[in-house]
Structure 1
Amino acid sequence: MATEQEKRELDATKGEGPPASNTSDSELEAESGAVNEKKLLRALDLRLLPAVSVLYLLSFLDRSNVANARIEGLTTDLGMTGNQYLTGLTLYFIGYVLFEIPCNIILKRTTPKFWLPTLTLAWGIVATLMGVTQNLAGFFVVRFFLGVTESGLFPGVVYYLSMWYKRDERQYRISLFFSCASLAGAFGGILAWGIAHMKGVGGYAGWRWIFILEGILTCVIAVIAYWFISNYPENVSWLSKTERAFIQARLKADSDATNQEAFRWADVWESCKDIKVWLYGLGFHTMSLPLYTLSLFMPTIIKDMGYTSAHSQLLTIPPYAVATIFTVFWAILSEKYKKRALFIVITSSFAIIGYIILLSNPNPKQKPGVSYLGTFFAAVGIYPSVALVLSWPAINVSGQTKRATANAMQISIGNLGAVLGTQLYRPKTAPRYLLGHSFALGYLVMNIVVVSTLWVILNKENRQKQEYLATHPETNGFHDSDEDLRQGDRHPRWHFNA
């Protein structure tokens, strides 16, 4: 009969399960008798996910509410042309891209409890200032610094969650967290509809109150967040000593989350040299253009179907609501079958159908229902795909600094697509928006190509590792020495999730 060690080695050669570690297994067994793992996971979810999800909901609300403000008179009151408005949208993403990696490095060198609320407070102040902007220059400055201050949240939270959950638990949590993006779209529509009725209060137009009230809300939540955002498992007070030890043991048996890894620039460079990291970035790049063009132009696209501003705000809600529900459902299904690439290809295909519908309607004002159906397909396809793409590095990249860098690189490379996208939906192309819809369609096709390429590469590297282990069964476990740990995801017993 095979020993437990032999079974672990056999599983590793088959590409099953986490990297082997004898010490971790024994520590986990010692702690598991005193801790109910499922109950503890539920407690972690309730403590961690609502906190970071609220921050991301506010982040997406504060970046995309400019779309709601536009149809309430923003461009008219500030005397800007349609193309100048697009330039303001572009400046947001330039600031976002430039400061993504520096923000994650700061997170690595500080703590989540300090850095995430501080970022939130900073962008809350900037978002509020948008409501008192008096000219085009002010609009440009505020949009740029909104991008700077929001840049560290998403990659920071992805890295943060990777320090709490095992690899096969991260994707669902990250997808749940990201679903707040589409939820923000639904909330944004109804909030904008209600707040716009404050036109004239305090001498301010309704669009100004959208920025002011939503920005102040962000500032208030940010201050509270200093108390409800936690640090890492080893030093939180709301877990017992036994629970902390159990979490440390289960993470040690699974990944690098418990390593005392000092920051090294060599690990940043290691991430830059990895072709898979660049493909994760391209995977998001090909999704960010359709993602942000949809979220930033949905109210305008619907209004140009012939609806009033008020009706347009309300009609943005159903596509986002359906997309939110489907994102969570798709994440659960993807996690159940342990597949990523296949599920991304399927939902990206849904989005392609949506843009084909939008492009095929010659007159959206005569047949608004056809184009409106296209927005449903687009939203239901885009948001689940983005959630899965963004969870990939957190699952597959090992080495804390390398993973933090990979997360930030993915968002930076990805948002270059958004920079381009903000220039595509020009007023002269209304109401069909052939240029913007065509680019979105082309990017979605490229997404399928990139994801399929990454799928092939990950499977190829897994096979190479299995072949190596078959001829070198004595290979150490992932945690057996400092040298093994330093190999990160290059270690023969590290299995990539495709």
Structure 2
Amino acid sequence: MTGDQYLTGLTLYFIGYVLFEIPCNIILKRTTPRLWLPTITLFWGIVATLLGVVQNYAGYLTSRFFLGVTESGLFPGVVFYLSMWYKRNEQHYRISLFFSAASLAGAFGGILAWGIGHMKGVGGYNGWRWIFILEGLLTVVVSVLAYFFVHNYPSTAEFLTEEEREYIQFRLKYDNDATRDESFTWAAVLTAFKDPKVWLYGLGFHTVSLPLYTLSLFLPSIISGLGYSNASAQLLTVPPYAVAFILVVVVAVYSEKTHLRAPFIMGSSALGIIGYIILLSTHSSGSSYVGTIFAAAGIYPSTAIVLSWPANNVSGQTKRAVANAMQISIGNLGAVMGTQLYRSEWSPRYFVGHSLALAYLAANIAVTGTLWLVLSRENEKKAEIRRTQNIASLEEVGAADGEFLGDDDPRWVFQT
């Protein structure tokens, strides 16, 4: 393949991803996590395995598109799933732990790619084919095990004792809407589309998704362009991802302790900007490599908090499921464009890709600041309504009788 043909495959992957995220989370809400999450993981593993045995360009494009389709429902599905188990301020750390697996996978991915690449000739296959085959088959095995280990919601989870179930239900009842008996309605789906804050959450992820995916997709190319061999470049991807993994967890802990989201997003994005400034301004391979570490160290913590924000703030349940999917769909439109920014003819400095990644992170700071202001003003209005109308406190929102207005309810306070 030529470089442009390879990039077309990357683009098709994200088109499949964007188109099917919202339908996948609607299916999750209308079925069960125990059925849906392992099933789409199983399908993803099958497609990934088959990607290792494609024999022509049409097969490559088809498999890349369906790889995006089958992956589209997992992350927004898991984010919604965790929001049904944990209190609002506990969700961010759990979602960040889940997302940190992406940076950890990046670290192990470099080592695995280097090792499996040495299988060239085994079974008559090239090394790259074995990367897809072995990692795809491992995913299939994990997905089958997941049918036995993924449970639905606290009210029906078999591994809980009755006392444990009551304790979890009590905690959730006085914190969020997870215990409310809400059936699926298309009106709730429409509510998510009509809420400007949901679009802002999506724009917040959009402005980090381009740097996130361009870095994860092209990091080996960026490093090899600094003068390292392809094999060495795979190994050198490990430190940036390892640093990113540590910072994702550390930043999540402090964000949860302080009950703040926006300042940590903006600070992390600023750290990523420093990385791209280094990449754009230096000719030294060593300094440029340090730039990749700064970029990863800023992008991954910022993304983790951005993705957990609507899970913390959007209510009711169907609206939240759709909002989680909308956010990632809007965000991944940035990834669609990003797949075309690191062309081989622009190597090794990649001025276009690095410049746009920097601009996007700067835009992320602006969007996050705007959303912070919007949420703070709405909290002030709700506080005034509670004061003047003597409305029950926030702690009673999940247990309140009668009509509950979701995140429009005066009792619902947004986390900023």
Q: Same fold (TM over 0.5)?
A: yes
- 1:430-474 deviation per Cα after TM superposition (whole angstroms, max 9, x unaligned): 000001011101100100000000000000000111111221114
Q: Which residue of the other structure, out of 72, 76, 79, is the alignment partner of 1:155?
A: 76
Give the alignment of 1:201-240 within 5 angstroms. Answer: 201-240=122-161
- 1:19-56 deviation per Cα after TM superposition (whole angstroms, max 9, x unaligned): xxxxxxxxxxxxxxxxxxxxxxxxxxxxxxxxxxxxxx
Instruction: State the partner residue of 1:472.
Output: 389
**Higher mean C-alpha deviation, range 314-323 or range 245-254:** 245-254
Instruction: State the partner residue of 2:295.
Output: 378
Instruction: State the partner residue of 1:407.
Output: 324
Instruction: State the partner residue of 1:342.
Output: 263
Q: CA deviation at 1:480?
A: 2.5
CA distance in 1, matches of 2:149, 2:250: 27
**Higher mean C-alpha deviation, range 343-352 or range 230-239:** 230-239
Contact 2:391 2:411 in 1 (8 A): no
CA distance in 2, matches of 1:237, 1:438: 51
CA distance in 2, matches of 1:83, 1:227: 42
Residue 473 of structure 1 aligns to which amino acid in structure 2? N
Matched, 1:260 2:177: no
Residue 449 of structure 1 aligns to which amino acid in structure 2? A
Matched, 1:450 2:367: yes
Residue 377 of structure 1 aligns to which amino acid in structure 2? F
Residue 243 of structure 1 aligns to which amino acid in structure 2? E
Q: Which residue of the other structure, out of 342, 347, 350, is the alignment partner of 1:425?
A: 342
- 1:257-284 deviation per Cα after TM superposition (whole angstroms, max 9, x unaligned): 0111110011011111111100000000
Instruction: State the partner residue of 2:304.
Output: 387
Instruction: State the partner residue of 1:165.
Output: 86
Contact 2:151 2:158 in 1 (8 A): no
Q: CA deviation at 1:167?
A: 0.5
Matched, 1:247 2:168: yes
Q: Which residue of the other structure, out of 85, 107, 118, is the alignment partner of 1:186?
A: 107
Q: Which residue of the other structure, out of 270, 278, 301, is the alignment partner of 2:222?
A: 301
Matched, 1:85 2:6: yes
CA distance in 1, matches of 2:380, 2:242: 41
Residue 315 of structure 1 aligns to which amino acid in structure 2? L
CA distance in 1, matches of 2:124, 2:226: 31
CA distance in 2, matches of 1:150, 1:210: 18
CA distance in 1, matches of 2:277, 2:40: 39
CA distance in 1, matches of 2:10, 2:70: 15
Q: Which residue of the other structure, out of 257, 263, 269, is the alignment partner of 2:190?
A: 269
Q: Which residue of the other structure, out of 358, 373, 377, is the alignment partner of 1:441?
A: 358
Q: CA RMSD in A?
A: 0.9
Q: CA deviation at 1:475?
A: 5.3
Matched, 1:482 2:402: yes
Three-state SS of the structure 2 residue aligned to 1:493 is: coil
Instruction: State the partner residue of 1:132.
Output: 53
- 1:298-352 deviation per Cα after TM superposition (whole angstroms, max 9, x unaligned): 0011011111111111000011001101110000011111110001000100000
Three-state SS of the structure 1 residue aligned to 2:184 is: coil
Three-state SS of the structure 2 residue aligned to 1:236 is: coil
CA distance in 2, matches of 1:470, 1:216: 58
- 1:371-430 deviation per Cα after TM superposition (whole angstroms, max 9, x unaligned): 100000000000000000000011000100000000000000000000000011011110
Q: How many residues align?
A: 413
Structure 2 stretches lacking a partner, 5+ long: none
**Which one has the largest radius of gyration?**
1
Structure 1 stretches lacking a partner, 5+ long: 1-79
Residue 450 of structure 1 aligns to which amino acid in structure 2? V
> Structure 1 vs Structure 2: percent identity of aligned residues?
68
Instruction: State the partner residue of 1:57.
Output: none
* Structure 1 length-normalised TM: 0.82
CA distance in 2, matches of 1:88, 1:380: 27
Q: Which residue of the other structure, out of 79, 94, 101, is the alignment partner of 2:22?
A: 101
CA distance in 2, matches of 1:474, 1:330: 35
* Structure 2 length-normalised TM: 0.98
Instruction: State the partner residue of 1:317.
Output: 238
Residue 404 of structure 1 aligns to which amino acid in structure 2? A
